[in-house]
Amino acid sequence: MTNLKTNIIGLSRDQIKSVLIDADLIKLNENFRVKQIWHWLYFHGVTNIDDMTSISIDLREDLKTVFTLKRPELDKEQCSTDGTIKWLIKLEDGNLVETVYIPEDSRGTLCVSSQVGCTLNCKFCHTGTQKLVKNLSTEEIVSQLMIARDQLKDWPANENRKISNIVFMGMGEPLYNYDAVKKSVEIFSDQEGIKLSTKRITLSTSGIVPQILEWGKEVDTVLAISLHATNDELRNEIVPINKKYPLKELIKACRDYPRSRNSRRITFEYVMLKGVNDSLEDAQALVDLIEGIPAKINLIPFNPWPDSPYECSSNNQIKKFGDFINDAGYSSPVRKTRGQDIMAACGQLKSDSIKIRKSISRLQV
């Protein structure tokens, strides 16, 4: 029996229900049982079926025969001097994935990974130098939050929780793992469990145009676009997916994104690379390019990694660039670099997992 157990983390309510019905543990109309289990799992964060105390002891024993609540193993925890924490998580199959917690005065953000490595190789990104090992499953994505909450003692999921926001800005291109990321967001935003509104969840993408539109229709979280360049020539070089989905198509997808039509802002991320994309002409081109889109521009100081080919723009230049964009009417906060001493800042994540099989390393490219 033991080897037939399913890990319940990452299953939808319907999937949980099917397992219970198949095992003859509930009847078709017993939705409240699923609701109870869900609440213990995602509101209280229990790690043991015995702790689901509102469920009868007999049923708890039966549940143990079909489900486990096992989290992946925590391999390493690193704490930055600025309060940022990076967890290296060892998945069941041995692959390693990174998750970062960034505390701020008004919120706490968890930066989750959607893939091990990435198939895209943006020139300034450390993750891009790691071959993709695999897409993460819903269980592996949701488990990142479960582990983070366990470590931070952040259960139950009430008003004062430390993790108030989630960003898909860790390792990987989330829109190349569409279904698992979508299911994870459904679990994160379920109002009887983790209860994070989609307004507090940000999907960051390098610009996979067809999936941006699909995502907007089906899920509609906050959207962040890793823009970084305002002309195709430069963007082809530093964000090579641009060759497949050039700027014109990308900007059109942003205009058509449902949130943007409802005047909610899209975030454009712009990494500041010295002498590459940081002149005031670039700033002007940026303003022209996104004209009419409700937007905020996040300027990200480039975070170096061993042998990285760029330098970060000077503070002075970042300020000038930001002021220019501000004067044009856009909010342009400079993203504070967090956790750089533990290589946890944007674009610095890279686990030691290596490509195992060639056949799965080219997913969706």
User: Which position among 78, 121, 198, 231 is part of the footprint of ligand SF4 (CB under 6 A)?
Assistant: 121
> What gap in Å lies between CA 282 and CA 260, rounded to an integer?
23
Q: Looking at this protein, which amino acid is placed at residue 202?
A: T
- Our CB check for ligand SF4 shows the closer of 26 and 345 to be 345
The site partner of 268 among ligand SF4, ligand SAH, none (C-beta below 5 to 8 Å per kind) is none
Using alpha carbons only, give the angle 19, 25, 27 rounded to the nearest 5 degrees: 90
| Sole binder of ligand SF4 in the list 49, 120, 295, 300 (CB under 6 A) | 120
302: contact with ligand SAH by CB under 6 A: yes
Identify whether 254 is a catalytic site residue.
no
Marked catalytic residue, from 111, 254, 312, 346: 346
Binding partner selected for residue 137 from ligand SAH, ligand SF4, none, CB under the kind-specific 5 to 8 Å limit = none
Q: Name which of residues 322 to 351 contact ligand SF4 (CB under 6 A).
A: none
Residue 269 CB, nearest distance to ligand SAH (Å)? 4
Binding string, residues 195-224; x marks residues near ligand SF4 by CB under 6 A: -----------x------------------
Exactly one of 118, 208, 227, 234 binds ligand SF4 (CB under 6 A); which one? 118
Question: Alpha carbon of 137 to those of 28, 48, 119, 212: distances in Å?
Answer: 28, 22, 17, 20
Only one of the segments 79-87, 123-131, 295-303, 335-343 lies at the binding site for ligand SF4 (rule: CB under 6 A); that segment is: 123-131
Binding mask 113-132 for ligand SAH (x = CB under 6 A): ---------x-xx-------
Q: Which stretch binds ligand SAH (CB under 6 A): 36-44, 96-104, 296-304, 313-321?
A: 296-304
Please say whether the beta carbons of 362 and 327 come within 8 A.
no
Q: Which of 73, 79, 98, 237 is catalytic?
A: 98
Per rule CB under 6 A, count of chain residues that contact ligand SF4: 11
Using CB under 6 A, which of 84, 95, 99, 127 touches ligand SF4?
127
* Spatial CB neighbours of 97, under 8 Å, sequence gap ≥ 6: 88, 89, 91, 113, 116, 136, 140, 144, 170, 171, 351, 353
For the question of residue 118 being annotated catalytic, the response is no
- Minimum gap (Å) between residue 228 Cβ and ligand SAH: 6
Decide: is 122 part of the binding site for ligand SF4 (CB under 6 A). Answer: yes
**Which one of 3-11, 40-48, 182-190, 201-209 is the stretch in contact with ligand SAH (CB under 6 A)?**
201-209
From ligand SAH, ligand SF4, none, interface partner of 300 (C-beta below 5 to 8 A by class): ligand SAH
Under the criterion CB under 6 A, does residue 173 sit at the interface with ligand SF4? yes
Residue 302 binds: one of ligand SAH, ligand SF4, none (C-beta under 5 to 8 A by kind)? ligand SAH
Residues at the contact surface with ligand SF4, assessed by CB under 6 A: 118, 120-122, 125, 127-128, 172-173, 206, 226
Q: Which residues are identified as catalytic?
A: 98, 346
Residues at the contact surface with ligand SAH, assessed by CB under 6 A: 122, 124-125, 169, 172-173, 204-206, 226, 269, 271, 300, 302-303, 346-347
